[in-house]
A and B are shown apart, each in its own frame.
Chain A
Amino acid sequence: MHRPSFPSTILAILLAGVLVACGTQTTSPSTGETSGEESAAPSTGASGDAEPTGASEPTGDPIVVGSTLSLTGPLSATGVIHRIAGDLFVERLNEQGGLLGRPVEWVVLDDESDQASVATLYERLISQEEVDLIIGPYATPLIISAMAVAERHGYVMPQHTAVLAPLMTYECQFPAWSIGPEPQVFVPEQLYDALESLDEAPSSIAFVTNQSGSTDFVTHGQPDAEDRDAVTIAEERGLEVVADISYPPGNDDWSAIAAQVRDADPDFIMMNSLGVESVGLIEAMEQLDYQPPMMFSLFPAPGPLLGLGESGEGHLSVSTFEPNEPIIERMGDEVRDIVETFQAQAEGEGLPYTAFETQATGSWTAWEILVEGVEGAGDTADQQAICDHLHENGAETTFHGQLEFDPEVNNFWPSDQTLKQIQDGDWVVVWPEDQAAAELRGP
C-alpha cells in the first residue's frame, strides 16, 4: 500500500509556501513598500492639503519616518502622548514647507508595550518598509532594543525618554531628554540643593525605590561601581538616611512599606518610582494616619498625583518643561501655540491629563534633532552624514536651546532639567530659581 508520508507532505507544502512568498517578492519588488503605507497607521501629517503658511508647499516624494510606539498595553497611556506630539510636529513641519522641500510622512507601528516585538518591528521598518529615517519608541527597555537595530543598520535614532546614559552606547543615538551623563548625581544634587534652600531644611531622608533600571540607577548608581548616587550624596551632605527600601516593579501592596516609612519618620521621602506607585504609597501612609512632611517622585504619571487633592500638595518631581504661564511668557508665541494645540488635540482624544509637559517635550525635541540633522546633511540617503552633522554642529531646539552632542558621554548634553512641585492643584516649576515659575514651598 502506497501512502505518502503525511508529515513530509505538510513540510513540503510549508516550504513551497515560503518559496512562493519569496518568488512573488522578486516579480513585484515594490509590493513591500506599498503594503507598508497601507498597513501603517496613517499619520495626520501625511495629508498633502495643508495650507501653505508663508513657506512653499512641499513637493516630491515624501520622506518617510518610521517608529513604533506603545499604542496598546501597559505603556500606552504615555505612548499616546508621544503619538499626539509627533502628529502635531509633522503636521506643522509640512505646513512650513516640509523637510528639504519634501513632505514628511510618519509610519507608526504598535509595539504593544512589548520589548520583544520592538526589535522585529524596527527591522521591518528599515528593511521591509524601507523608511528613510527612524525615531525612537517610548520607555527605556524598548528604546534600548530599538537602538540595537538602529546600530546594526547604521541608522540615526533620536529618542525621547531614555535617560540611562551609561547604557545608551550607540554613537548615533541622540537623547531628547538629558539628565546629563550622570543622572544618579544630577538628580540628587539638584534636589538636595533645593531642599537646603528651605528655612527648615530636612535633616533625614528615606529612599523608596522601584527595582527597574532607570529608577534604581538614580538611588543606587551603577552596579559594581563605587560611584556617587542619591544615597551616598545624601550621606555626604549630612542627611541621615533612615530607610532604603526597594520594591519590585508591579508592586501593588503598599501597606507594609508605608508602615516602615512611618516608623522611620523621615523629614523627606525620595521615592524613585514610576507611574502611579507614589499615589499608592501616599494613600497607604494616609491610611496609617501618617503624612510625610515632604516627598519627591522621580518619574510619576503627572495626572493621578494631582487627583490626590490636598494630600498631593507640595509633592516634588522632575521636569523638562511645564506649561506655566511665566515660562510660556518667557519662551514666546510659538511655544504657546504648541502647548495650546496639543492640549486641544489631547482633550479631543479623551486623555485624562492633557498638559504638554516633560513627555511631550521629549517627543518634540527628538523630532527637532532629526530635522536638524537631515537639513544639515542635505539628504536622507547618508545616515552617517546626518550623524556626523549632529556631532559637529549640535541641534537648535525650541525647548532646550542649542544642544551639543559629545559621543564621549553617549551624546547626553548638559541637563537643564528642573524640579516641579504641586502647588494649588497644578504642577509648577520651582527650581532652579532662574527657571522657576514660582517659589519652592516647604512642608
Chain B
Amino acid sequence: MIILQAAFSGILVGGLYALMAIGLSLTWGMLKVINLAHFGMILLSAYLTYAIATGLGIDPLLTIVATAPVMFVLAAALQWAFQRFRVSEFNSLLISFGVLIMLVQTISNVWTADFRRLGSDVNPYSSGALSIGPLAFPMPTLLAFVTALALVIALELALERTFAGRAVRAFSEDPPIAAAFGIDHRRIGILLAGVAGVTAALAGMLFAIGGSMTPSTALEWVGLVFAVVILGGIGNVAGTLLAGALVGIVTGLVTVLWSPSAAPLVVFSIVVLALLFRPRGLIPRGGTT
C-alpha cells in the first residue's frame, strides 16, 4: 500500500515538474531558444501569487488573472529581443541565464531571502486531499497534475488544429518552406513564447500553493526540470507530462524503498542512459517521425 501511495503521490508531483517543463520544452523545441529565464518567471509568479493572495486575502488560484498577463508580456518581450538580435540557440542559454540571475536577485531584494509560504488562512488547499479508499491525493499536487494534463491536451490540440499551431510546427521543422508559405515566424514565435510564459505563471502559482519558496529555489529546479524535458523529448508536450510522471514515480519509489537521498542518483542516471540511447526522448513522438 505504501508503495502504491508513494507511486501515486509521485505521479502528482511529477505533474508539477511537467508544468514547469512544458514552457521550456516548447520554446526549445519550436523556437530553438533554451530559456533559463523560464525558471525566474516561475519563481516570480510564485512570489506574485504569494504577495497578491496575502495582500488582498484572496484565493491564490485567482491570482492567475494577474500573473498570466504579466508573464505573457515578459516572455514575449524576451522572445522579441532574441529575434531582434538573431540570438543563436546557445547564446540564448547564456543570455537567459543572465536574465535569470537578475530576476533572482531582484526577488531577493524585494521579498528578502527569507522563506515565504502562503499562510493557511489564505490557502485552503495546503492541507486538503482527495481520498479514494486508502489512497490520498494531496490537493496542491493534484491541482498541478490536472492543470498539466489540461494544458497538454489544449496545447496538443492547438498545435494540431489551429493555424498558428500548424504554422509553429511547420516552422520548427522547415523554416524556409514555412516562410515560403507566408508564415510570419516572428509573430508566431512571440506568441508561442508568450504562451510558454503563461505556463510559467501557472507553474509558479501551483508551486506557491504547495511549497515554501526562497529566491534560490529557482536554481534547485534546474536539474530536475531539465531531466523532464530531455526524457520527454525536446519540444514534445505530451512527452513532457509522461516524463514528469516517470520522474515523480521513480523519486517516490526510490524514497520509500531506498532513501530520499538516493532519488537524484537514480533519476539522473536514467537521464544519462536516456541521453545515450534515446537522445530524442523516451517517448517516441506520435506521427511526425
Contact = CB atoms under 8 A, between A and B. Distances in A.
Do A and B share a direct contact in the complex (Cβ within 8 angstroms)?
yes
Interface of A: 72-77, 80, 113, 211, 245-248, 250-253, 255-260, 262-263, 275-276, 279-280, 283-284, 286-289, 301, 304, 307-309, 311, 352
Contacts of A245: 259-260
Nearest to B7: A256
Interface of B: 1-2, 5-6, 9-10, 12-13, 108, 112-115, 117, 119-121, 126-129, 131, 136, 138-141, 211-212, 214, 216-217, 220, 251-253, 255-256, 259-261, 264
Contacts of A262: 2
Nearest to A311: B127
A252 B139 contact: no
Interface hub of B6, B115, B251, B260 (most chain A Cβ within 10 A) = B260
Contact of B114 (A252, A263, A284, A352): A352
Contacts of A301: 115
B279 to A, nearest CB: 27
B129 A289 contact: yes
A174 B140 CA distance: 46
B115 to A, nearest CB: 5
Contacts of B117: 276, 279, 304, 307
25 contacts: A73-B108, A77-B112, A113-B113, A251-B260, A252-B211, A253-B13, A253-B255, A255-B9, A255-B13, A256-B6, A256-B253, A256-B256, A259-B2, A259-B252, A276-B115, A280-B212, A286-B127, A287-B136, A288-B9, A288-B138, A289-B129, A289-B131, A301-B115, A304-B212, A309-B120
A174 to B, nearest CB: 28
Contacts of B264: 248
A287 B6 contact: no
A301 B9 CA distance: 26
Nearest to A113: B113
B5 A74 contact: no
B215 to A, nearest CB: 8
A405 B283 CA distance: 64
B255 A288 contact: no
Nearest to B1: A263
A307 B220 CA distance: 25
A275 B113 CA distance: 12
Given A256-B255, A286-B127, A287-B129, A73 B260 contact: no
Contacts of B1: 263
B6 A259 contact: yes
Given A73-B113, A77-B114, A255-B10, A307 B127 contact: no
B211 A255 contact: no
Contacts, number: 112
B220 to A, nearest CB: 6
A15 B180 CA distance: 58
Contacts of A289: 129, 131, 136
A256 B108 contact: no
Interface hub of B127, B129, B261 (most chain A Cβ within 10 A) = B127
A215 B210 CA distance: 25
A259 B256 contact: yes
Interface hub of A263, A283, A311 (most chain B Cβ within 10 A) = A283
A407 B261 CA distance: 36
A245 B13 CA distance: 20
Contacts of A311: 127
B6 to A, nearest CB: 4
A253 B120 contact: no
A307 B119 contact: yes
Given A255-B13, A255-B252, A259-B256, 17 more contacts: A72-B108, A74-B113, A77-B115, A80-B112, A247-B261, A252-B217, A253-B13, A255-B12, A256-B10, A258-B9, A260-B2, A283-B126, A283-B127, A286-B129, A304-B115, A307-B119, A309-B121
A247 B256 CA distance: 11
A308 B123 CA distance: 11
A286 B139 CA distance: 10
B271 to A, nearest CB: 17
Contacts of A260: 2, 6, 255-256
B113 to A, nearest CB: 4
B113 A72 contact: yes
Given A256-B9, A288-B129, A289-B129, A248 B216 contact: no
A255 B2 contact: no
Q: Which 9 A-B pairs have the closest CB atoms?
A: A287-B138, A77-B114, A255-B9, A256-B255, A286-B127, A247-B260, A263-B2, A76-B113, A256-B252
Nearest to B212: A276
A263 B128 CA distance: 19
B129 A252 contact: no
B260 A287 contact: no
A251 B113 CA distance: 17
B3 to A, nearest CB: 9
Given A253-B13, A263-B1, A284 B115 contact: no
Contacts of A250: 220
Nearest to B264: A248
Contacts of B253: 256
Given A76-B114, A255-B138, A286-B127, A246 B252 contact: no
A275 B251 contact: no
